[in-house]
Chain A
Amino acid sequence: MTTESADVVIIGGGIIGMATAYYLAKLGSDVVVVEKGEIAGGTSSKCDGNILAIDKEPGFDSQMSLESQKLVSQLVMELDEEFEYRAPGSILVCESDEEMEAAEMWVNRQKEVGLPFRMLDRGEIRSEWKYMADDIHGGLECATDSTVNPVLLTYSMAVTAERLGARLKTHTWVTGIRLDPSGAVEGVETSSGLIRTKHVVNAAGVWSKPIAQMVGIEIPVEPRKGHILVSSRTESIGTRKVMEFSYLMSKFGKERKVDQLTEQYGVALVFEPTASQNFLIGSSREFVGFDMKINVDVIRCIARRAIRFFPVMKDIPVLRSYCGLRPWTPDHLPIVSRVEEVPGFYIAAGHEGDGISLAAITGKVMSECITGQETTISIEPLHYNRFKKEAGKR
């Protein structure tokens, strides 16, 4: 057992923790990251990889993504390793005239807050997507949406943070958080000893709730399971992200016109081509605790949904499938916040399916918040106080 010290200890070596470590190290802070397994060993390697504004609630949520997109485009220059960055935009496609009307409202609301959205008519969809089902009514585009390999981005931030002096302690878990008599943070107890520090960031994602409980704070972050299918390498079907419009309904818990299993498993088409000549297919959303077993019924349901939009996929083998746990919060916004009751305790968790999208902006504002600077965007809407009354409710 050893005792060391740091300006800031970050709990969690996922993409949120590594983004926070990178931006803090860049500002000259002495940072230690404590990770119970491997870097990007949890949710950050069991997801797909996008910096999307297209699926964010118009206003604060979508503008936050736009800021994150700008930061990630700078990270391409700043970070030491490449992470398969591209910014081809992304699209949502509609199955009916009703969805087209709803899409038009979504586009108008996004344009009002300054985002580069536009409608796509049936002809535009068909000329870009020769393999898409021909009954698709149209869709919409967000021109700035970008894509990354999430594991490579997390590692790229990790190695760059290390070069800037950050210390990464993997296979080390937190056993307690030490407070001084006034109730402020004075250290983190880990499986390999005490780290003295005045600042702790809880970036533990789906595991952030028990970490917060160590200092007597309740946060309503729950694991929400999602499955993803990996295709074999194949002739290109398309080069950018496609989702079905009703993915938004699934994400925000609204009613959809789909069969019972699709509804039950929260299945909606997400198509993501990769630099490896293949594509990822999602998505599903389920509350089943920390169960990480693949459910073949969900896989079948996702595949059926994908074939509905891309009939050619019935002849393309799925190589494998995986699932991850997304850190859900009741209002679909993350908690990026200081905790007034425990001076020195910060939370950067609860991004659900937006962790890759929002990692850069989260890490940036967290570093600004901890070092006492004005934050790039206001983080008042992300304060943990908003859940104080309903902590634990779903």
Chain B
Amino acid sequence: MRKSLRINHHPLLGEMDKKVISFTYNGEKLQGLEGEPIAVALLANHIRILRRHEESGSARGLYCGIGHCMECRVELLGKGQVRACLTPLKEGMEIREGSRLPNAITGRVDS
């Protein structure tokens, strides 16, 4: 069992006593705190790769953390692409990492 990355008691913000909820990431059942950003819930579960670049397939993760760089896009079932750093976690969310895609214009087909 890996050590939790969570801060349970913060010297300024106090006790982190949000409700624990369940969600899935790439089909794996995980737990996070209700309302925290998806990226935070994943980080607390030791998951840092949020997306594979659509062209090159190389790994992408949390970068700016404030919604600006658009690097942390994940697939949220029923919502399409969302930014993991800005989207609050809800009970039962089904999330998948952003994946490499074929390129219909250049004709590259592997994905």
Contact = CB atoms under 8 A, between A and B. Distances in A.
Are A and B co-members of a single complex? yes
B33 to A, nearest CB: 25
B102 A233 contact: no
Interface residues of A, number: 17
B70 A319 contact: yes
14 contacts: A86-B105, A232-B81, A234-B101, A236-B101, A236-B103, A239-B104, A275-B105, A276-B55, A277-B55, A277-B103, A277-B105, A316-B81, A317-B80, A317-B82
A314 B82 CA distance: 12
Would you call the interface of chain A mostly helix, strand, loop, or mixed?
Answer: loop
A29 interface: no
Contact of B80 (A274, A315, A319): A315
A235 B101 contact: yes
A316 B80 contact: yes
Contacts of B55: 233, 276-277
Interface in A229-257: 232-236, 239
A214 to B, nearest CB: 43
B79 interface: yes
A86 B106 CA distance: 10
B54 A277 contact: yes
Interface string A265-277: 0000000011111
Nearest to A312: B80
B103 A275 contact: yes
Nearest to A231: B81
B79 A315 contact: yes
B54 A315 contact: no
Contacts of B82: 317
Interface string A293-337: 000000000000000000000111101000000000000000000
Contacts of A273: 104-105
Interface string B92-106: 000000000111111
Contacts of A232: 70, 73, 81
Contacts of B105: 86, 236, 239, 273-275, 277
A48 to B, nearest CB: 14
Contact of A233 (B79, B83, B101, B106): B101
Contacts of A315: 79-81
A317 B106 contact: no
A275 B54 CA distance: 12
A185 to B, nearest CB: 45
Contacts of A276: 55
A314 B80 CA distance: 9
B102 A236 contact: yes
Interface in B64-111: 70, 73, 79-83, 101-106
A233 B81 CA distance: 10
Contacts of A233: 54-55, 101
Nearest to B104: A236
Contacts of B83: 317
Contacts of A239: 104-105
Q: Could you say which of A232, A314, A316 has the most chain B C-beta atoms within 10 Å of its C-beta?
A: A232
Given A234-B101, A277-B101, A317 B54 contact: no
A275 B55 CA distance: 10
Contacts of A86: 105
Nearest to A275: B105
A86 B105 CA distance: 9
Nearest to A273: B105
B106 to A, nearest CB: 6
Nearest to B80: A315
A167 B96 CA distance: 52
Nearest to A276: B55
Nearest to A84: B105
B70 A317 contact: yes
Interface string A5-20: 0000000000000000
Nearest to A313: B80
